[in-house]
Amino acid sequence: MEEKNSRINKDEYYLEIAFAISKRSPCLRRRVGAILVKNDVILATGYNGPPRKTVNCDEIGCLKDLANAPHGEAWDLCPAVHAEENCITNAARQGTSVLGATLYISGEYLVNSPIEPAQICDRCKRILINAGIKDVVIRRKNGSIEKIDIRNWVEEEKEKYVKKFEELKEKRKENQ
């Protein structure tokens, strides 16, 4: 019996492209690549790394390593622009609307870490919400694919803000 031509699905296809883009990252800890897709067209790509025309970590070393900073923390030490941010920025540089697009993000750790290679930080979530991105598709450490509806992040943001507001309001009362 003949085997059918096995094609990967679209999510796998775009995640593989995002993973290939991650190989451009100069980061010594984690490489992440992202692509924005709308109507089956790649709008823009991005990977994590310092701003254009500045020094790259692979040229002189990692500030977070030097400070012995844990993974997923000490963002103030890292000069990198995240892959998601670079993807949105690259679209803007060429005048491309990303409204309603899907972001695919994939990556790898170059060192042992407890967090996911494609874990999206709160700052990037907010940027993606404001840019009008519809969905985010990521590959987990275990190889599984997760599709995230950005509307869930909007609700999380509301809840976090109200919770923090109430906590600070209560703390203020206690200190008076």
Q: Which of 84, 156, 166, 167 is catalytic?
A: 84
DSSP states along 64-84: HHHTTPPTT--GGG--PBPHH
How many residues would you count in the chain?
A: 176
Separation CA 56–CA 123 (nearest Å): 22
Question: In Å, how far are 3, 159, 163, 167, 169 from 174, measured between CA atoms?
Answer: 71, 23, 17, 11, 9
Question: 41-47 and 30-38 as β-strands: parallel, antiparallel, unpaired?
Answer: antiparallel
Across 107-135, b (16+ Cβ under 10 Å) vs e yields bbbeeeeeebbbbbeeebbebbeebebeb
146 carries an active-site annotation: no
Annotated catalytic sites, by residue?
84
